[in-house]
Structure 1
Amino acid sequence: MARNSKRGRPVSPLDERHYQAIALLADGRMNYSDIADSVGVTRRTLQRWRQRKDFDRELRKVNAKLVNEWRRTSRERMRLRTAQDMTWYFNAIGTL
């Protein structure tokens, strides 16, 4: 088990509340106070969690997964297969 460098106390592994907070942070629709309330912790506790390396690592993984999913679906939506698709696209961006 890793130790907290400031106090020398063992750091507990991430539990279900941590993963709920990570999902809500990655979603980006709620502020810290709302996320803390929905998870059942104080805002300060949520801020301390953000400073943990393991929490930050998991949050970056979730964010990367969301970005990759968005890129993949965006490429699929923007694939121009026919002349009609191209006409629609150029009309949509205002070049035709």
Structure 2
Amino acid sequence: MSRRKRRGRPVAILDARHHQAITLLAEGRLSYGEIADNIGIDRRTLHRWRMRKDFDRELRKVLARNEREWRRTMQSRLRLRTAHDMTWFFDAVGTV
């Protein structure tokens, strides 16, 4: 059995710019162009990063962590014990 060499570019390790992009993408407030400008890369580079499996895996981890944190906070906040809790809830939901 012969082993085949993998062709193509070697996979690079995610650096600080990648992690900064992941954080900004997970927040969901900025567009791709704004995120790229903040990091100092081209928008197309950000699109190429999104196609990488390791980048996508890290982004999914951050999104899952944010969701768990949001659920934990919501469970404690939804008890609505004080007027401050009620104000926070209605501000978060977007009513009143």
Please give the TM-score of this superposition, normalised by the length of structure 1. 0.75
Q: Does 1:55 align with 2:55?
A: yes
Gaps of 5+ in 1: none
Corresponding residue SS for 1:24: helix
- Bigger Cα Rg: 1
Deviation of 1:80 after TM superposition, in Å, equals: 5.8
Equivalent-residue separation in structure 2 for 1:38 and 1:9 (angstroms)? 27
Query: What's the C-alpha RMSD, in Å, of the aligned pairs?
Result: 2.1
List, as ranges, runs of 4+ consecutive aligned residues in structure 1 with deviation greater than 3 Å. Answer: none
Q: Mapping of 1:1-40 within 5 angstroms?
A: 8-40=8-40
| Match of residue 64 from structure 1 | 64
Identical positions, percent: 62
Aligned residues: 80
Equivalent-residue separation in structure 2 for 1:10 and 1:70 (angstroms)? 37
Q: Which amino acid aligns with 1:22?
A: I
Q: Which amino acid aligns with 1:24?
A: L
Deviation of 1:11 after TM superposition, in Å, equals: 1.7
Deviation of 1:79 after TM superposition, in Å, equals: 2.4
